[in-house]
Structure 1
């Protein structure tokens, strides 16, 4: 989705100086915080911080218009950063406040943000319902910019559904509004989006002209999210023309811009586009690497179960409010019947209560045994997902604080030639084969007291050192890696599964931050430069070898026979020292 209120980093820097001076108070300070949150969306933490301060300050003075604006700005920042669950939750809060204020401008804007978010998670029915409501309400106001945005974003929704005629109709309605207002960024969005439709329709020349015109305008406003998306569209045009080198150039420009400004959704999309493009060119290694990064970012922004649970609970809160009004009137008519039947029910219960007390005592004893068994089972399941200390913290507090670990050892592995094998196997054979290897890797990790973090496709990730114990976790990880390598070699000789592989392993040691992602479907994960370097060690390893970084080598060099490889070029890292561990 695109939003036609242009952010500006220079403006943000100017506003920061005013904020730091402490000269603004009252409503002037609220407006300052609102503008800071809006113009700082390229810095996620700063924008969220300003939005939270705006909400808190506005609540203190009961200024609910600015409470609404704070939630809107906070939701937009979450959306841009890829945290869709929090974005939807925050937009719903904003719309509830607008409903209480009976302010149609704000209510229409709130419905628009909800529609955009539902569209992003492909809940099409709810997206279209809220787009219709937003347009209907905003058409009764003089907020033409937001009305133009509603047509623009609903057009993009239909574009994603490949309903190109409806998309073009909405873009043209939006453009008519922005053209009348002489609003350049809104016009640029419509021109660029129309260009994307032309690209899908095979109208390449018109597509390139429109997209280039949009990019030229948006560069003036530093709107990198839209530019990154339009660069990907340009790549698609060049692919259709079989100009693959130009397509690669534009896709890499899109990816670099998305990474620079932390645009997770576009990072995922650009990686997916590059994966497909490299596959067409026959570069399977590059294709697989970009596909892995696509999956990594896609999963980080789409915790689908949490989002769908939220969608089920709050599919359409306006309809729910109307239903609540009907229920109240019906309830008044039923009250007398309820009182009558409640009295009869209470008398009946008193009668059977005496009989039930004896049986209840016996039942409680047997039930307690069942509860104890089930509690033990649920505790064990939780330990299968989370480390023991983390699981206990979750049970005690209902949440888990992120922790920084000064030194852990991270392992990545993947199978050489996995993609070509995967194409030849049936889905059942592929799953059974991966399960065979990964389940045995899990046993090896348990043996050495290490934690598996996750698997992505054929990639396996584990870490040692999350328990703050005195064990030499780097040495333990190397021993585990050797066993993994030996197991894979033996499996290849024994030919037990439908396909056999060679394994590449990479290891690095350093600090990480660890925590739990999600609220209903828990996932334990780690973040930091240490993780990225470990992944680079794996991608620079060779079949049947364990490749380690300089950090890990300095810890284990007296315990293992290592072979210095020299300083090798690493993507986005320059040259790094690497070592093979001889097995």
Structure 2
């Protein structure tokens, strides 16, 4: 279930927190002409600040193109005068602006650029602000990567004694655990911690009380606690009335009524949501409301009325170019026509639904490759789901064929030969369909083994879940290409995908040769581990040997780029220690490892040099008899103090046979 803009709270919190240094603004208090006058009467850094303030006014009014134009002007001026904080603020607002338009790639890209600028000027509140925003963006996508940003933001908020920041992150963490990770105990703990701060009172706590209640409402709706969610959404409506968020809250109240079986009330709220969305020209909410309304009538004895609403939703989503909305409406139309027995129309919309689903995935995967975020792993996982859905499609076509054969049999019951021929054709179709199903199941199993270790995949198929396991000694390796981001800016998406696939496919071969386990890729970074899922004694040596082969391969590509693959230099970091391994997700499975060992290994990579293998003191103690190493001394590491590090010196040696 998709988390709403209001009730996931992340957008509200971004719009609230993004104002650090400017104070709270709203359309009712600040007039556009006054803001434009402020911009006209100032220059330099103050003008950049005023441009940012004006842009936020436009964002809050839903005038996104106008906001984008003003922010681009602010960025240009900030760069001319070297005003990094003003540039960072403008980039932050651009992230908010694009995220509000559901453009996840641009929103994340601008937010990342803003975060880097805040780090350059060592603005800790700004860093915490962007970490909170990015965590909220990933939260809205249901991506557990959100926790990698939310926890640091919480730690900085506590260090700064920034109660507002703490409360916002606690609500987001509660949403992550309650809405996506199915850990209600942790979710309620974060909600309880948040309530403690709210009860103590602080400036603006009344507003955050609303956000807190909205978070609980979303949690209860997702977990089918419809009575509680309805009460909470109804209580929120007076705060949203007259704003762009009113349609969203009405829609969620309608869903709560429908969950309670109160269909008439649900439809009334869906209709009110549609009317509010029309008023604000919010196509997304407009289509969602029509979709809910049409689906409600389809379930009852008024399918014609329901189809009318769904066709209107399809027309709006097509005109607006909203692929996700088109996908959802086509799925609803497919189910509606199937229920009426109009199988030709049902098949037409089902095919369109699958096309849109695949297209949306392709676009998302391409953006994530361009932005260096979980590119190939996501594609494999989504492909597995698509193959499983094809099994359903084959079964539905088989049922349609069965109905056609039955009708034909009744119509020509007097013609024995035609009956025999029809039965024979039916037998051949069923046999062929069963063979296709078995082939697709085999491919699905093969894809699952590409995502998870064999032992883990078997446990998942048998039990439906995987227990987390602790390994006392695992060697973790990270690799990262030097200059990848700069080089990729001059490449087309197709060239970028080809280049990354060329390197990572070879990396996969190398680690498989040494019996290592690939964990994941994150853009141009590659992560693997030795010593799991089956513990072995020589995993540090095997990981180093794999690292040596990777260095040689990358160097060979750099020396000979006849295939059009650009050459890179690679940094490698290795550390050994305990980890916890497990599977996250209920549909899009991901095998991952956690623990301080992973963090230290990542620090080994970021502290390494191009063309070098950097190992920790712990790993060195395990392999010093097998490899020639050079002591680097104690190196300063972010959040770790100083750590002893070593370079592998003789990369040509191979002690294992």
Please, what TM-score do these two structures have when normalized by structure 1? Answer: 0.49
Identify the structure with bigger relative contact order (alpha carbons < 8 Å, sequence gap 6+). Answer: 1
Please, what TM-score do these two structures have when normalized by structure 2? Answer: 0.44
